Structure 1
Amino acid sequence: MIKIAIYGKGGIGKSTCASNLSAAFSKMGYKVMQIGCDPKADSTALLRKSERIPTVLDTIREKGDAYELSDIVYEGSCGVKCVEAGGPVPGLGCAGRGIIAALEALEKKGAYGKFSPDIVIYDVLGDVVCGGFSMPMRKGYADKVFVVCSGEKMSRYAAANICMAVENFKGRGYAALGGIILDRRNVANEDEAVKELAEDFNTSVTGYIDRSEDIAKCDELGEVVVNAFPESKAAEQFNVLAENILKEMNK
């Protein structure tokens, strides 16, 4: 099983990236599960025609331990299995702890054994990498972390913090850094700045995603671009990114 964690600053496009990667991998013939680890619980929306699915934490709050996998795992585009960890009641509890509880619940109910995914993608909010937000990096979960980043200063700052966390956790047997995904925002010297960031952490830019009207349209349609506009440049870039990630995972 290939296990990948996608991290990035809030709003950088990591969920769009994760969902298109999930669909691209599925089109290649892989069985894919995408697990949203953001309290907003919108990671899988593009795989579900914008429909939000019940979160693991909401289901546990409602049913206790008397829930089935069918209550928390839903099918999305291309057969991708969709899960949303969810978060605490607003103003109460810790979002990081929620991720821990959700991932433990999936294991307890035997989700990985039942669905036997070839690829699992964890989509994780990366503004803070501590506590539960580092859970997908831990041994037994993701094998490698890919960081979505633009050339904007705050995006690069957040990406550097994530990369640093991966490096610091490495000695504990956590996931390794797989590379940086450049989601372009058309700022000055963007490619050079992100390439330099990658080199600072002895990694590389795994793929490039341009700003695209097709991606913007898909946000409105609630669809992944590799399905809605399969012949577009954006779809080609996601397909190339998927291929590059597989090469990195197989090193």
Structure 2
Amino acid sequence: MKEVVFLKQIAFYGKGGIGKSTTVCNIAASLADEGKKVMVIGCDPKHDCTSNLRGGKEIPTVLDTIREKNLDKLNLDEAIEKGVISIDDIVYKGYKGIYCVEAGGPKPGYGCAGRGVIVAIELLKKMNVFETLGVDVVLYDVLGDVVCGGFAMPLRMGLANQIYIVTSSDYMSIYAANNICKGIKEFAKTGRIKLGGLIYNVRGSLDAEDIVKEFAKKLRTDIVGKIPNSFLIAEAEIEGKTVIEYAPDSEIASIYRDLAKKIYENKGGVIPKPLENEEILMIGRKIKERLKSFYK
């Protein structure tokens, strides 16, 4: 068994549809190109977080595998000991050997959407997956609802060394980012969890970087990277690929590589100071005025 000298674990949060999975997969591909052993754990019940690392192909989720093997009522330790479930059942390889795991969710209409995250993390730990595979860095792609215990697992268990929040200049995206910061502040009591910064992902026609910078400053953090609009991102995803794989010599690929390097090498972080409701509303009004002038 290969011993892991230092395992860097990073969680990415953000409002649904903000481009979080796209960002995570491109960062993973960038790190893999640099020779890092990377694992991406998809913590969204839609279980499509890692598809761009595997040519658009989805993989069986941890919860689906447990259901198919009728392990719902079986103790996980017993299942592992008897070889009923193995690492190969839940970990799949993608671009440049990136290890891909999808937590999955319950059957529609049943159970907690975050249960897959809880079960997946518990199973990975019990099977010593990180140590066995010699992983250098784990990237958690988490749905932005830290109210749910499942989605808060990387925070509650102190798994992630750092948290990054993907946001645009859309009001609801900033609102969600502020709520995520409330969760980070709450769970930072463990002494390990820090906000590494915001990733500004430009969505739509409005690029209000100054407003996002103001928001970051109020949180006591920074924008660690800006991802501009690029048709190559959409083109790559249609092919089930990251930009790193699809257009490796492009400017947008270079931006992702720079962001990946900055995140991997960052050892700092802060406990954020979430904004009060009135402060968030003030930012919303600024966005509203910017949109009105933009469309005049």
Please indicate the TM-score interval, normalised by the length of the shorter structure.
Answer: over 0.9
Please give the per-residue CA displacement for 1:169-202, whole angstroms capped at 9, x wherever unaligned: 1113352111000001255461111111111221
Greater Cα offset, 233-242 or 125-134: 125-134
Summarize the Cα distance change of 1:169–1:205 in structure 2 as closer, same or farther, 3 Å threshold: same
Instruction: After superposition, give the CA deviation of every residue in 1:4-27 in whole Å (9 maximum; x if it has no partner).
Output: 001110000000000000000111
The aligned counterpart of 2:217 is 199
**1:1-251 to 2 correspondences below 5 Å:** 1-63=7-69, 64=71, 65=79, 66-173=84-191, 175-185=193-203, 188=206, 190-249=208-267
Tell me the distance in 1 between the aligned counterparts of 2:43 and 2:157. 17
- Displacement after TM superposition at 1:140 (Å): 4.4
Structure 2 residue ranges without an equivalent (≥5): 1-6, 72-78, 270-296
Number of aligned residue pairs: 251
Inter-CA distance 34–109: structure 2 relative to 1 (3 Å threshold): same
8 Å contact from structure 1 (residues 138, 174) kept in 2 = no
Q: Is the 8 A contact 1:137 1:174 kept in 2?
A: no
8 Å contact kept, 2:145–2:151: no
TM-score by length of 2: 0.82
Q: Secondary structure at the match of 1:102?
A: helix
Distance 1:78 1:250, change over 3 A: farther
Q: Secondary structure at the match of 1:54?
A: coil
1:166–1:175 Cα contact (<8 Å) kept: yes
TM-score (norm 1): 0.96
Q: Distance in 2 between matches of 1:249 and 1:57?
A: 33
SS at match of 1:4: strand
Which runs of no fewer than 5 residues in structure 1 stay unpaired?
Answer: none
Distance 1:35 1:59, change over 3 A: same
Matched-pair contact (CA < 8 Å) for 2:39–2:99: yes
- How far residue 98 of structure 1 moved from its aligned partner, in angstroms, is 2.1
Post-superposition offset of 1:127: 3.5
- For residues 90 and 200 of structure 1, the distance between their equivalents in structure 2, rounded to whole angstroms, comes to 39
Residue 212 of structure 1 contacts residue 234 of structure 1 at CA under 8 Å; is this kept in 2? yes
For residues 204 and 16 of structure 1, the distance between their equivalents in structure 2, rounded to whole angstroms, comes to 21
Q: Distance in 1 between matches of 2:106 and 2:228?
A: 35
Fraction of identical pairs, as percent: 47
Greater shift in the superposed pair: 34-43 or 185-194: 185-194
The amino acid that maps onto 1:99 is V
- More off after superposition, 211-220 vs 61-70: 61-70
Secondary structure of 2:17 counterpart: coil
RMSD, matched Cα: 1.4
